[in-house]
Amino acid sequence: MTLRKTFSIGLWSALLLFLVSCKQEPNIDKKVPASTVSENLIGYVNPMVGTKNMGHTYPGPSTPFGMVQLSPETNNQPYAKSGRYNRRTYEYCSGYQYADSTIFGFSHTHFSGTGHSDLGDLLVMPTVGELKLDPGISEIPNSGYHSKFSHAKEEATPGYYKVQLDDYNVQAELTASDRVGFHQYTFPKSENSHIILDLISNIYHHKDKNVWTFVRVENDSLITGYRQTNGWARTRKVFFAMQFSKPFHSYGHKKYDSQLYGGFYRRFNEEENFPEMAGKNIRAYFNFKTDDNEKIKVKMALSSVSTAGALKNMEAEIPHWHFEQTKKETQEKWNKELSKITVDTQTLAQKQTFYTALYHTMLGPIVYEDVDGKYRGLDQNIHESEGFKNYTIFSLWDTYRALHPLFNIIQPQRNNDMIKSMLAHHDESVHKMLPIWSHYANENWCMIGYHSVSVIADAVAKGTTDIDVSRAYEASKNTSTVGYFDGIDSYMAQGYVPEDKSSSSVSKTLEFAYDDWSIAQIAKKAGNQDAYDHYMERSENYKNVFDPEINYMRPKLSDGTWRKEFDPIDTHGQGFIEGNAWNYGLYVPHDIDQMISMMGGKKEFPNYLDKIFTTEIEDRYIAQNEDITRDGIIGNYVHGNEPGHHIPYLYNWTDSPWKTQGRVRMIMDTMYSNKEDGLCGNDDAGQMSAWYIFSSLGFYPVLPGSDEYAIGSPMVKEATVRLENGKTFSVKTTNQSKENVYIQKVELNGKELNTSVLKHSDISNGGTLIFHLGKEPNKAWGK
């Protein structure tokens, strides 16, 4: 999902780049080794994937689902003269662009792959020589504290990042535990070494983003404080404790506020060696004398609760100064998580692409509580998680589709905690709503639908949650009846969102209808038949925005007439968001047969689908559109955005399941790679990567909330999924090759499987799924 203008790079360049051979990784043999649990799987992960163009991933270290994402900023993000955010803000959603050659420092919070930006908290930068407190600009060397760097002297693996800061001859190494960023800087000999803490630096920066900063120099090697921002999250607080391995000999700060407290200034030299700093815009520095190759380490612990909480987190997680130990522990965590799926692939590049995708599915949602279970709630009060671990960053319009279903296979316990976090969010919400886009004790209201209900329904359907289903139903009901949210009042009264009342009305109606189906499933499980009936009825609302005259979903007005102006190819202002009528109009995952029949029946439908993949979209739709780039499209099919992620699997509901097999293999081959530009659009908090993981294994959750997967065609030669219940589910193939993408036969636990449907129990009970593949389609299979 993207919200801002992207660079448009042609499909051909993407294909070309794909053909370029993989970057040599010194510790990886070109021959693909057989996968074992003890394997060093992190070696297959290239955290640089997605850092070129608009993948919006970051290369720095984090633990799986960790609260700290410590990563370099390759551009300063000053706000524009108008006070609004800079026009390049979108480009720097996650702080890092591979094309850059400057580093401005290392900050501790980053979204992975989102289409909107925020965070970038607590930027730390080591420098040597004359103290420069201004960041300067990339284009002018030595214009500030930033430094040149090159990819030749840079290394990124899960849990570890290293770079040489050429301007200062400082080597920076980073690792992280769940709540603590760990820096190791190797300085040259100097009387003038500095570590800068820039509390102004921000991602999604605007004039009033910084609300307040508070810093205390507790002693000669410990700092505490917090920053409060008004960014994408309207009211967000990050508390910290920052410890240095070596005492600084002096320190100071500069405040960039127009309004100063005069009285204070008369009494002290507040700017130098004065241990209290507070204001809207502050940059602090800490001075050291360093010997040649002297290492100064910095630990930065975060908390949503308080500086006391941050200190507690530091003491609990990294009570020592052994950088290598933390790095090792974090990398072991990654190996453990990655080994939940071991794969054998045809090429090393595929294996790297696969594990990088798997890595990207575990960078969000993130843990959002202190080691003692305390966290800041949506009501800004401090809560304590009881019986669960609290998570934040739910980019649900993206992630309900495949990421949470993937969690139900390889992270069911975490997913259960996430659902409980959603219910806590509901309880803390003044609207009594489940999260739409939950972000550090804030609700962003980003994108449409109320998809927490889908995540809950999916876990309920798959038996992976122990929540009180009645409570979950009540929360879902509350959420779906908040009249002032996104046209729900009209939706409830008229059965659709009228475009004149609320824009993107067709997309909203379709997503609401699907969500209502999800709520019906929860109601059913809760034994509430009336509610089930009611929500099943609501789930048919998609029919109200289908215009049989033109055979498209179409925006309807409140008077019941169709809006006259309508272009089914245009993505903007046509009643859809991040998709056009061709693509998004197919979003009825809970009633596909009925939708197909409405659209002309099983026979016609494959042609409609074919046209999506083959009709070249005109440039004017690209040019005027910020949500579609040439990178992420095949014909008129947009893989870079989510509403079409189920489309290649829809052939399964026709007489041509073989076409699904061809399409998904094509998408995997062309839309993903192991290179920096290996993502064709924002990774969208892991949804793009989760699509790849599922499709690689040969199936996909077209209807989250059901216990069924649609079968595609696996990319892997072989895969083993290790479940938390101790069982394993294996995917095997015969005749696997780039060309042999078509299913000849499928066997499940030795029995032939003739439908294109896989049940969740087939996975969770353990077993083996064998795909017999061939160059030519077996058009009879799976009909």
Nearer Cβ to a copy of itself, position 276 or 466?
276
Using the rule CB under 8 A, give the single segment among 30-38, 95-103, 264-272, 385-393 that binds a copy of itself.
264-272
* 3-state class (DSSP) for residue 379: coil
350 Cβ neighbours under 8 A, 6+ residues apart:
674, 715, 716
Quick one: 230 exposed, middle or buried, by C-beta within 10 A (0-12, 13-18, 19+)?
middle
Report yes or no: 479 and 433 within 8 Å, Cβ to Cβ.
yes
Q: Tell me: cis bond preceding 33? Omega within 30 of 0 counts.
A: no
- Element of type H or E holding 39: none
Q: Is 169 in the site for a copy of itself (CB under 8 A)?
A: no
Nearer Cβ to a copy of itself, position 134 or 218?
218
Report yes or no: 229 and 209 within 8 Å, Cβ to Cβ.
yes
Among 23, 88, 234, 738, contact with a copy of itself (rule: CB under 8 A): 234
Q: Is 271 in the site for a copy of itself (CB under 8 A)?
A: no
Nearer Cβ to a copy of itself, position 212 or 608?
212
Q: Is 382 in the site for a copy of itself (CB under 8 A)?
A: yes
Q: Shortest Cβ distance from residue 58 to a copy of itself (Å)?
A: 23
Among 5, 148, 216, 722, contact with a copy of itself (rule: CB under 8 A): 216
**Residues from 476 through 505 that contact a copy of itself (CB under 8 A):** 484-486, 503
Q: Per-residue x/- marks for a copy of itself, 78-117, CB under 8 A?
A: -----xx---------------------------------
Backbone phi, psi, residue 585, to 5°: -65, -10
Q: Identity (one letter) of the amino acid at 682?
A: N
Report yes or no: 18 and 658 within 8 Å, Cβ to Cβ.
no
Using the rule CB under 8 A, give the single segment among 247-255, 272-280, 659-667, 698-706 that binds a copy of itself.
272-280
Q: Shortest Cβ distance from residue 220 to a copy of itself (Å)?
A: 12
Structure tokens at 348: 């090393």
End-to-end CA distance of the chain: 33
Among 90, 98, 161, 214, contact with a copy of itself (rule: CB under 8 A): 214
DSSP 723: P
Nearer Cβ to a copy of itself, position 303 or 580?
303
**Residues from 29 through 68 that contact a copy of itself (CB under 8 A):** none
Q: Is 759 in the site for a copy of itself (CB under 8 A)?
A: no
Using the rule CB under 8 A, give the single segment among 162-170, 215-223, 339-347, 564-572 that binds a copy of itself.
215-223
Q: Shortest Cβ distance from residue 280 to a copy of itself (Å)?
A: 7
Nearer Cβ to a copy of itself, position 382 or 622?
382
Q: How far apart are CA 426 and CA 468, in angstroms?
A: 14
Q: Shortest Cβ distance from residue 222 to a copy of itself (Å)?
A: 10
Q: Is 296 in the site for a copy of itself (CB under 8 A)?
A: no
3-state helix, strand, coil in the chain (%, to 5): 30, 25, 45
Q: Is 264 in the site for a copy of itself (CB under 8 A)?
A: yes
Q: Shortest Cβ distance from residue 439 to a copy of itself (Å)?
A: 12
Pairing of strands 180-187, 170-176: antiparallel
Using the rule CB under 8 A, give the single segment among 28-36, 201-209, 633-641, 774-782 that binds a copy of itself.
201-209
Q: Tell me: cis bond preceding 555? Omega within 30 of 0 counts.
A: no
Q: Is 303 in the site for a copy of itself (CB under 8 A)?
A: no
Q: How far apart are CA 641 and CA 688, in angstroms?
A: 8
Could you list the beta-strand ranges (E) of 129-246. Answer: 147-148, 154-157, 160-165, 170-176, 180-187, 190-198, 210-219, 222-229, 236-244
Report yes or no: 223 and 217 within 8 Å, Cβ to Cβ.
yes
Structure tokens at 17: 């780049």
Residue ranges binding a copy of itself (CB under 8 A): 83-84, 206-208, 211-212, 214, 216-218, 224, 226, 228, 230, 232, 234-235, 257-259, 261, 263-264, 266-269, 273-276, 278-280, 306-308, 379-382, 430-431, 444-446, 484-486, 503
